[in-house]
Amino acid sequence: MDILLDNPLASMGGLYFLVFYVGFIVITLVLFGLIKGRIDKTDRLALPPIPPNIDPYEIAYLRGGTNEVARSVVFALMQKGLIEFKTIGNTTQIKRTANPPPRLNQIEQIALDWLKNSRDSKDIFQTNGLVTQLEAYGDAFKARLAQQQMLVGEDLENKLSRWKWLVILAIAGLGGYKTLAAFSHGKLNVFGIIIIGVVGLIIAFVMSSLPRLTKLGTAYLERLQLAFDGLKNQTQQAYMPSGAPKVVPSATFAGVDPLLLSVGVFGAGILAGTVYNEYNNAFSRANQQAATSSGSCGAGCGSGCSSGSSDSSGSSCSSGSSCSSGCGGGCGGCS
């Protein structure tokens, strides 16, 4: 028993131990980061081809979850002339028009029925909002994409969780052991150990979150954005306000409207500066109102997933991985 509290580590001076402890934590976290990077091995799988019957709503889900599906379907209804946005003060309302609805698919019909005659745009992301109504479709998209190993599932999370708790045990165990040893030697100044240990544990917890998309999912989304980059530019130019005649790209992919497909692949940010710019403004106001009234992450993700980039910095939910870091880490994923 004496050797447990009477050995070089237990007797190490305070300053020397703090340096040792910091080094131990840094090495442990670096190893943890390396292990985390190797847990997802989907980058070794063949990248799937782009299907001829591509579903813009499924791609929207891949990019940003059910919130993005809701944004895309609302845009589809707007583009079909079935709804319009009306700004009243600081509130934007979505109103149904008198136009008779054409043939709609199920997800569009559900959205149109939910809108009834009028809804505030911020209601889309709130409890019992459109996002809630579309959860069944989101679950179906999630299951299909998870089967294709494009979404991080419980198996990867469980693998990382086991390593996380080993790291936490190592950091907390060494700090706790040295604290007990210090007390046994009559030394009570252990605040440095506690502070360093807490910082290390916080970093370990932050590092223990996985992105929403797997490496395969991220690569597939990047392939889609590269493949449809030309289509995006064409559709943007076609809908820019101008008196000159323009040619609207035809629906060449499974009869999908090219602008709706571009919104699904890149996000509604591509509508900035087009005749549909009010759509983006409406969701921006909805985000501000919902954040003020409830501070909920759902609205924040819903309106934040508008950029078309594949940046994974977490600034928006537009890309596959950013949802995890920007929303996934803070919204459980925009899903």
Interval 187-233: pLDDT, tens:
878 899 999 999 999 999 999 999 999 999 999 999 999 998 888 88
Of the candidates 300, 315, 310, which has an alpha carbon nearest to the alpha carbon of residue 68?
300
End position of a domain, from candidates 207, 230, 248:
207
Residues 143 and 171 in one domain: no
SS3 state at 119: strand
Beta strands in the chain (DSSP E): 83-88, 91-96, 118-120
pLDDT score of 163 more than 90: yes
Answer whether 45's CB lies under 8 Å from 149's CB: yes
Alpha carbon distances (Å) from 242 to 158, 191, 236, 238, 324: 54, 67, 12, 9, 38
Residues 164 and 102 in one domain: no
Residues 202 and 217 in one domain: no
Residues 15 and 65 in one domain: no
Residues 76 and 216 in one domain: yes
Residues 217 and 292 in one domain: yes
End position of a domain, from candidates 207, 234, 250:
207
Answer whether 316's CB lies under 8 Å from 305's CB: yes
Residues 168 and 310 in one domain: no
Q: What is the pLDDT of residue 293?
A: 54
Q: Which domain holds residue 157?
A: 2-39+153-207
Confidence of residue 298 (pLDDT cuts 50, 70, 90): very low
List pLDDT tens digits, range 33-43: 999 999 999 99
Report if residue 272 sits inside a domain: yes
List pLDDT tens digits, range 4-35: 777 788 778 888 899 999 999 999 999 999 99
Report if residue 80 sits inside a domain: yes
Q: Which residue has the higher pLDDT, 121 or 199?
A: 199
Pairwise CA distance, residues 184 & 187, whole Å: 7
Q: What is the pLDDT of residue 53?
A: 85
pLDDT score of 259 more than 90: no
Q: What is the pLDDT of residue 166?
A: 96
Confidence of residue 282 (pLDDT cuts 50, 70, 90): confident
List pLDDT tens digits, range 85-102: 888 777 788 889 988 888
Report if residue 282 sits inside a domain: yes
> Total structural domains in the chain?
2
Q: What is the pLDDT of residue 47?
A: 92
Residues 136 and 170 in one domain: no
Return the percentage of the chain with pLDDT > 70, whole number: 80
Residues 195 and 84 in one domain: no
List pLDDT tens digits, range 63-76: 999 999 999 999 99
Residues 129 and 186 in one domain: no
Q: For all residues of the chain together, what is the average pLDDT?
A: 80
End position of a domain, from candidates 179, 207, 235:
207
Q: Is 269 exposed, middle or buried (0-12, 13-18, 19+ CB in 10 A)?
A: middle
Q: What is the pLDDT of residue 236?
A: 80
Report if residue 292 sits inside a domain: yes
Residues 322 and 192 in one domain: no
Q: What is the pLDDT of residue 268?
A: 83
Report if residue 44 sits inside a domain: no
Report if residue 46 sits inside a domain: no
Report if residue 47 sits inside a domain: no
Residues 302 and 158 in one domain: no
Report if residue 113 sits inside a domain: yes
Q: What is the pLDDT of residue 74?
A: 92
